[in-house]
Chains A and B, each alone.
Chain A
Amino acid sequence: MENESILSDVLLKQLMAVGQVDVLVGLPTLNNAATVANVAQAIHVSFTRDLPRLRTVMINSDAGSIDGTPELIRDASFLQGDVVQTSYSLRTTHRVVTPYHGLPGKNTALQALFAAAELTQANTLVVIDPAGPATTADRVTELITPIWRSEVEFLTPRYRRHPRDGALITQLVRPLVRGVYGVEIDEPLGAEFACSGRFATHCLEQDIWSQDAATFAIDLWLRTEAIANNLQIGQIWRPATAAAAPTTLRQAVRQVLLSLIVALHAHESFWRRTNEVTRLHTWGDDHKKCPSASEWDFVTLANQARGDILEIQPLLEGILDPPVLSGLMDDLNTGDPRLDDEVWVRIVYDFLDASNRGSTGVDHLADMFVPLYMWRAARFMSLTAHETDDAAQKRLNTLCDAFQRLKPALVDGWTVEV
């Protein structure tokens, strides 16, 4: 049976013309007309001004934009306001604009970019967020350089966040990755990254691309895959940007949990034997400018979560350890959510363990997890509503410690025979 190809014939033809490159910058887009021309120009200036000797290519992999995004990139004149830099270009600069092949989704776009990187034997692959209004040539170059110089093999952005911002990251993903995988990655879900061509080829060979999890969790999977393969990882400061909100909170929580499950299953042999926490070098300038946090109606959130949890209480009995469930129920019966760190970490670990036991489907697990996360998030918001930023940040650090400290519970639960 013939496998469906990753690269369209049109893209393949363009890559034949591009040939071997040193740096491939990918721009996966979907209706990014408002920002994409500036981003594309920043990439071009980075190539011509900062990397004139390198063989470079920018590839736009578009998911079917209807706002003219590909046309904007294809037709963008890089001469406007850029005459000096362009005139110094030693080489032909390539701009490949192509719709990608297959089902829509960032994973499909990335798969095409990874395949392009392999075909062109790119040393460095960088994926840029097309919605980044603050993307400049300097920042593109900053992303490329550490990989090009072989200082690291995977580079992930780091944002200066307000401690009350991005609760899904701070309450779940960051502490879990840190505690379980033992690496202090700030943003395991970041849209931008840079990696070596070698890693891109490695990822292409993994059985992830056709899985559902890849459609919503490819960013997390990439980072955990890099960790699990002992790649030298670095972080780079990026300016804080408004978070894209393509999904509802409920959807986002579901997707993140599912992706964590997929990642843990894929990397079991790695994280089970990892005990230390590795700190990462961070490149770039930390402007220390912290955006303000968005306001949460945590009372409504808590009420909604309480109702949902009570409704699924019988189902939770098959997932949570009795003391954990008991602690949760006690908490629910108080006026304010007081779900402490230890109970929250154990809930998370019990859910992950349950996914391994297989007695409950992962989709069902994800559905049940949503109100628990909402309850925890409401609790954190409530608790820190009148605290200083430093105090709130301290709580985040404590939570990370709790995930690490209680990791043996995850390991034990994971190995329980059903």
Chain B
Amino acid sequence: MTNSNTLLKVSNVRKNFAEVVALDGVSFEITSGEVVGLVGSNGAGKTTLLRLMSGVYRPTSGTVTLGDDTPVHLMRDSLGVVPESTGLYSRLTAWENIRYHSRLYGVSDNLAWKRTVKFAQSLDMEENLSRYTKGFSRGMRQKTALLRALAHGPRVLLLDEPTAGLDITSARTVRSLVNQIKQEGGTVVYSTHQLFEAQQVCDRIIIIHNGVVKANGSPENLIATTGCETLEEAYVALTQEKARMRFEDNKPESGVTKLWHKLFRPKTPESGETLVVNSDE
């Protein structure tokens, strides 16, 4: 049943890439002001789900809607997205990167600047706004991408592994910002495979495994339901099935590609065969 505060709704979503089923029967709702964690191993389907929620992908079946049941791809100006790769242009300054996206969102430079400065203070990025992003560290890039996603005032912020590869201080700063957004009533979808982080930041955790939602609830609720003592144990109990390959690694090959690979792919020993290594090596 739909809550009156429901902001984002994923209904029975299936996503296929040719024969590969990336997501199957995924359903959940996110209410306004919630911070929801998408937790899963590599290849679980988190990024695919985020791309569906940001309108980059369209579901094979099912719907992803925002607000009053409008398909999400028609409401992209209500979303702020930080992809895993951050996606910054190295020959533009941090502010130019932010301004570029804001303009495409139809937001005036003045308004975007005001919002950027406000959040830049929290992220300690004010002095770096006029610098080219070419020399930025991973942390600075992530912070710039966050500022860019916030500059147009989105209703929902979608973050794909925002702390991956960050040092402890930068990761803390990013988490603090998410908390700040939460305090201000913002809605955040936070993809991660760090359980402690999800527990720290999120009101609710959705565990995805092999393209299927395995659990959906608050960290305390998940622990209680599984009868485990920690969230990690609960996660392991819920995801015992062997993790599959990432979709990109599992893409079906065309006939020509198959033949090409058959001819030129390096040979590996068949099972039971012994790999002979030169004794001199």
Partners in one complex: no
- Seen from chain A, the residues whose Cβ lies within 8 Å of a Cβ on chain B are none
